[in-house]
Amino acid sequence: MPVIEVRHPLVRHKVGLLREKDISTKKFRELTNEIARLLAYESTADFPLEAIEIDCWSGPAQIEQIAGRKVTVVPILRAGIGMLDGVLDMVPNAKVSVVGLSRNHETLQPEHYFERFVGHLDERTALIVDPMLATAGSMIATVDLLKRRGCNDIRALVLVAAPEGIKALNAAHPDVRCWTAAIDSHLDENGYIIPGLGDAGDKIFGTK
């Protein structure tokens, strides 16, 4: 079950607001980060804990802490940047790796133009962030890059996923789990998700 649609009411409410045709850049950005926080929360629910003893106001106390889990958040440029702060709010010690992929609007294939990975990827959980899982070309290419560098715990966080993208990601990387705020109907002939959000990058950055 590599794709998990997060059905929490807060997520469903917020993703509904994102679909408003005339939404402002400010509102789109805020909601994107709010949903990213909730997806980060869900996608880290299996992180192992360890017990440690601390000095509490009332004396020694046993508390739990996340057991040495190193995380890298991997925004796919450009739109993934819109989810980065939300994930870092939840995982503040995470390091950030950046991948630049743009979609060729004719072939719909990803074109790779930038990468900057943090070290020790073989010891890290990677949380890839990209708002739209459409054809999944960029997501698959990013997973390929991470695996080539030894990363073996790779998770994807997206706002909206198309069934076509889910199928392609599962076929290419069945070990990669993807948390999404919504699974939509289909892709149109231009590769946009229907009903979707439109161009998420333009909406986050205010370009058009």
144 in a labelled binding site: no
Binding status of residue 136 toward ligand URA by CB under 6 A: no
Binding status of residue 86 toward ligand URA by CB under 6 A: no
Q: Are 94 and 155 in contact (CB under 8 A)?
A: no
Q: Which residue, 2 or 191, is less far from ligand URA as judged by CB?
A: 191
Cα angle for residues 168, 173, 175 (degrees, 5° grid): 130
Binding status of residue 201 toward ligand URA by CB under 6 A: yes
Binding status of residue 134 toward ligand URA by CB under 6 A: yes
Size of the site for ligand URA (CB under 6 A): 10
Contacting ligand URA (CB under 6 A), which of 15, 84, 141, 193?
193
Binding status of residue 11 toward ligand URA by CB under 6 A: no
Q: How far is the CB of 134 from ligand URA (least distance, A)?
A: 4
Contacting ligand URA (CB under 6 A), which of 132, 158, 169, 204?
132
Ordered alpha helix ranges (H), 44-184: 81-90, 137-148, 163-172
Binding status of residue 199 toward ligand URA by CB under 6 A: yes
Q: Which residue, 86 or 201, is less far from ligand URA as judged by CB?
A: 201
84 Cβ contact partners less than 8 Å away, ≥ 6 residues apart: 36, 73, 75, 96, 129
Is residue 172 packed enough to be buried (19+ CB in 10 Å), middle (13-18) or exposed (0-12)?
middle
Q: Where are the beta strands (DSSP E) in the chain?
A: 3-5, 49-56, 59-66, 70-77, 95-96, 98-103, 110-116, 124-129, 132-133, 153-161, 177-183, 186-187, 193-194
Q: Which residue has the tokens 């004719």?
A: 106
Q: Which residue, 170 or 192, is less far from ligand URA as judged by CB?
A: 192
Binding status of residue 205 toward ligand URA by CB under 6 A: no
Binding site for ligand URA (CB under 6 A): 79, 132, 134, 191-193, 196, 199-201
